[in-house]
């Protein structure tokens, strides 16, 4: 009898544990943790983790907690597909925040998330190729397309009085997209591209490419690539060879790693474009205070705002849908991100949860701005101009 009672009690305990676990809801987080943008990742992981922590501290997701399940793309297309398959088919996540790089985002979407009906929200992927994807309304992003960043970068360069440039861009979705857009806009506005080189990733030397780029008397070298791979090597080898002294980069080059490798002095006349947040945004102030209170520092790092917002939005979508049913999450995401609705900002999970439970519409305004998705899952947004300031970067202008 005693043994039977103990077995029943043990069985009840196991069932209770299983029910508690079943009430938790997984949220997929697909990041390029290793690879060419690895230096960006630690504060972005903190941003995603902060969003999940705030949700769990303020009532949880649906009837339990949110559980972040990470996948690492390794910064490659095949790695992205492998990680996406695990998230979709092993972890059975209903929605995914990520990936970060355009190439890994597109690879994961086309091979896995679109076929399995999973909504994917990238905080940073900017390739124009995403706009016209046949994605069944499943692929979204909260940064503007490189069609916009390229136009803004052309204006920045010309406003600096730079009328002749050499351009090199990495041969992937990110590099080709923004490189071509920049050159088209720059030429249309009267600038001259005196040399153009599309280069490959993961080479040890880019001296032959640099030899071609020096032809024509360019006043600056525009580099569209990642600091952790070809972009950083090209800048370093150009400086070492005395070939260029002024560089213009996009968000992939706006990486503290570049400053560490070549020194701030060598970049004192250079500048960089990057998707950013609107100026004087109280939602950003709120997030940064919470972020630095939790982690001590890092709120000002690139894409912290967007990564937090994207993670928070995925959980708002699940709460709005009332379940982890994949088929309901695209419509729910659009509803929580867009007007009309009562405004909800970073960290206001308990407010959002209460409003949703009352059947009221909400409209999330994030640290990175407002997110009104168009028919293609794209948003308008902001691009900032950054210069080197000590061991990091300082924003000196914002373009809407």
| pTM of the full structure | 0.91
Rounded CA-CA distance 136/311 in Å is 21
What does the pLDDT look like over 134-183, one tens digit per residue?
999 999 999 999 999 999 999 999 999 999 999 999 999 999 999 999 99
Q: What is the pLDDT of residue 21?
A: 52
pLDDT at 17 over 80: no
> How many CB atoms sit inside 10 A of residue 13's CB?
10
Plot region of 119 (φ>0 → left; ψ -120 to 50 → alpha; else → beta): beta
Cα–Cα distance between 223 and 230 in angstroms, integer?
A: 9
pLDDT tops 70 at residue 53: yes
Is the confidence at residue 11, as pLDDT, over 50?
A: no
Do β-strands 25-31 and 66-72 pair in parallel, antiparallel, or remain unpaired? parallel
Question: Do strands 382-389 and 392-399 pair parallel, antiparallel, or not at all (unpaired)?
Answer: antiparallel
Q: Which has the closest alpha carbon to 252: 358, 341, 172?
A: 172
Q: Are strands 342-344 and 362-366 parallel, antiparallel or unpaired?
A: parallel
E-only strand ranges, the chain: 25-31, 66-72, 95-98, 119-122, 139-141, 164-170, 192-199, 220-224, 247-249, 271-276, 342-344, 362-366, 369-370, 382-389, 392-399
pLDDT at 71: 98
Mean pLDDT value across residues 75-97: 98
CB 385 within 8 A of CB 399: yes
Confidence of residue 279 (pLDDT cuts 50, 70, 90): confident
Percent of the chain residues past pLDDT 90, beyond the cut: 93
Predicted pLDDT at 22: 54
Cα 109 from Cα 130, distance rounded (Å): 10
Q: How far is CA 258 from the centre of its chain?
A: 19
For the chain, give the mean pLDDT: 94
Closest CA to 170 of 35, 41, 269, 270: 35
Q: What is the pLDDT of residue 20?
A: 39
Give the residue from 143, 101, 123 showing the smallest Cα distance to 312: 123
Nearest-angstrom CA–CA distance, 146 and 161? 23
Per residue in 295-321, pLDDT (tens digit) is 999 999 999 999 999 999 999 999 999
Q: Please give, one letter per residue, the 3-state secondary structure of 344-399.
A: ECCCCHHHHHHHHHCCCCEEEEECCEECCCCCCCCCCCEEEEEEEECCEEEEEEEE
List pLDDT tens digits, range 189-242: 999 999 999 999 999 999 999 999 999 999 999 999 999 999 999 999 999 999
- Sign for the pseudo-dihedral over CA of 284, 288, 290, 291: positive
Q: Which domains does the chain have, with CATH numbers?
A: 147-276+382-399 (3.40.50.2300)
- The CA radius of gyration of the chain, in Å to the nearest whole number, is 23
pLDDT at 307: 98
CA distance linking residue 244 with residue 267, whole number of Å: 11
Nearest Cα to 257, choosing from 288, 213, 301?
Answer: 301
Q: What is the pLDDT of residues 330-384, one digit of tens each?
A: 999 999 999 999 999 999 999 999 999 999 999 999 999 999 999 999 999 999 9
Torsions phi, psi of 356, nearest 5?
Answer: -65, -40
Per the document, the length of the chain is 400
First to last CA, the chain: 74
- Please tell me the predicted confidence (pLDDT) of residue 398: 95
């Amino acid at each position: 009898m005693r043994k039977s009672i103990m077995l029943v009690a043990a069985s009840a305990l196991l069932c209770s544990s299983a029910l508690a676990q079943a009430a938790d809801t997984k949220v997929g987080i697909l990041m390029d943790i290793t690879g060419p943008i690895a230096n960006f990742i630690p504060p972005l992981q903190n941003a995603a983790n902060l969003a999940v922590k705030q949700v769990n501290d303020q009532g949880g997701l649906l009837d339990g907690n949110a559980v972040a399940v990470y996948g690492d793309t390794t910064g490659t297309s095949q790695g992205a597909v492998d990680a996406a398959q695990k998230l979709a088919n092993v972890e059975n996540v209903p929605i995914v925040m990520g990936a970060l790089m355009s190439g890994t985002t597109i690879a994961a979407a086309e091979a896995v998330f679109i076929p399995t009906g999973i909504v994917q929200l990238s905080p940073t992927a900017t390739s124009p190729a995403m706009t016209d994807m046949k994605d069944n309304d499943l692929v979204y992003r909260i940064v503007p397309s490189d069609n916009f960043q390229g136009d803004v970068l052309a204006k920045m360069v010309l406003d600096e009085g730079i009328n002749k440039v050499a351009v090199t861009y990495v041969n992937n979705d990110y590099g080709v997209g923004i490189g071509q857009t920049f050159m088209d806009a720059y030429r249309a506005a009267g600038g001259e591209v005196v040399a153009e080189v599309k280069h490959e990733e993961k080479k040890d030397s880019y001296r032959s490419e640099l030899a071609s780029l020096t032809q024509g008397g360019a006043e600056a070298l525009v580099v569209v690539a990642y600091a952790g791979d070809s972009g950083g090597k090209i800048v370093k080898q150009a400086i070492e060879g005395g070939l260029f002294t002024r560089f213009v980069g996009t968000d992939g080059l706006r990486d503290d790693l570049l400053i560490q490798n070549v020194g701030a002095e060598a970049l004192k006349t250079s500048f960089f474009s990057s998707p950013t947040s609107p100026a004087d945004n109280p939602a950003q102030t709120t997030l940064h205070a919470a972020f630095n209170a939790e982690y001590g520092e890092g709120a000002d790092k690139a894409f912290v705002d967007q990564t937090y917002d994207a993670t928070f939005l995925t959980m708002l979508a699940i709460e709005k849908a009332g379940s982890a049913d994949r088929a309901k999450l695209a419509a729910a995401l659009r509803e929580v991100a867009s007007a009309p609705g009562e405004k909800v900002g970073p960290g206001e999970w308990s407010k959002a949860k209460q409003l949703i439970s009352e059947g009221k519409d909400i409209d999330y305004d994030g640290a990175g701005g407002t997110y009104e998705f168009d028919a293609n899952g794209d948003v308008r947004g902001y691009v900032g101009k950054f210069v080197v300031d000590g061991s990091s970067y300082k924003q000196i202008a914002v373009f809407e």
